[in-house]
């Protein structure tokens, strides 16, 4: 049996973006409230009854939040261009040492209706 455990966090951050459409507003520094969800998939440990201790996952997500919250995303080392896709990848890479490693990372902006999901499952 495989279980998938999810944990969410949010952060407020600013960025700029060079793009062809909606260019003027995107090039200026502007901000969003971002939401992120990390999923971890695996068997339930018979000794603990858990796939992962959510306390450990929450602690790591708090570290991630501190790296992103109230920052200019253009300046976050290792992020690259501050797109939803790169945010998903950045979070996944930062948490890749978890056991089990994330199986999915989702980042979205409710106010904009935008979302991106990175599926890290085998065969995805």
Query: At 22, which CATH number?
Result: 3.30.479.10
> In this structure, what are the phi and psi dihedrals at residue 59, rounded to the nearest 5 degrees?
-65, -40
- pLDDT value at position 24? 64
Asked if residue 48 is part of any domain, the answer here is yes
pLDDT in tens, the chain (124 residues): 999 999 999 999 999 987 676 656 667 788 999 999 999 999 999 999 999 999 999 999 999 999 999 999 999 999 999 999 999 999 999 999 999 999 999 999 998 899 999 999 876 6
Do residues 39 and 4 lie in contact, with contact meaning Cβ atoms separated by under 8 Å? Answer: yes
Asked if residue 32 is part of any domain, the answer here is yes
**Rounded to a whole number, what is the distance in angstroms from the first to the last CA of the chain?**
19
Asked if residue 58 is part of any domain, the answer here is yes
Asked if residue 101 is part of any domain, the answer here is yes
Domain count, the chain: 1
Neighbours of 120 (CB within 10 A): 16
Asked if residue 100 is part of any domain, the answer here is yes
- pLDDT value at position 43? 96
Asked if residue 124 is part of any domain, the answer here is no
Report d(CA 14, CA 28) in Å as an integer. Answer: 10
Its domain, for residue 96, covers: 3-119
- pLDDT value at position 27? 76
């Amino acid at each position: 049996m495989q279980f998938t455990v999810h944990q969410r966090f949010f952060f407020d951050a600013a960025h700029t973006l060079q793009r062809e459409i909606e260019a003027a507003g995107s090039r200026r520094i502007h901000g969003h409230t971002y939401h992120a969800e990390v999923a971890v998939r695996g068997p339930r440990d018979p000794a603990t009854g858990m796939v992962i201790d959510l306390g450990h996952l929450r602690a790591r997500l708090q570290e991630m939040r501190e790296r992103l919250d109230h920052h200019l995303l253009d300046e976050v080392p290792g992020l690259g261009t501050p797109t939803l896709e790169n945010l998903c990848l950045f979070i996944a890479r930062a948490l890749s040492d978890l056991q089990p490693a994330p199986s999915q990372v989702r980042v979205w902006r409710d106010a904009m209706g935008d979302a991106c999901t990175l599926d890290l499952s085998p065969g995805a």
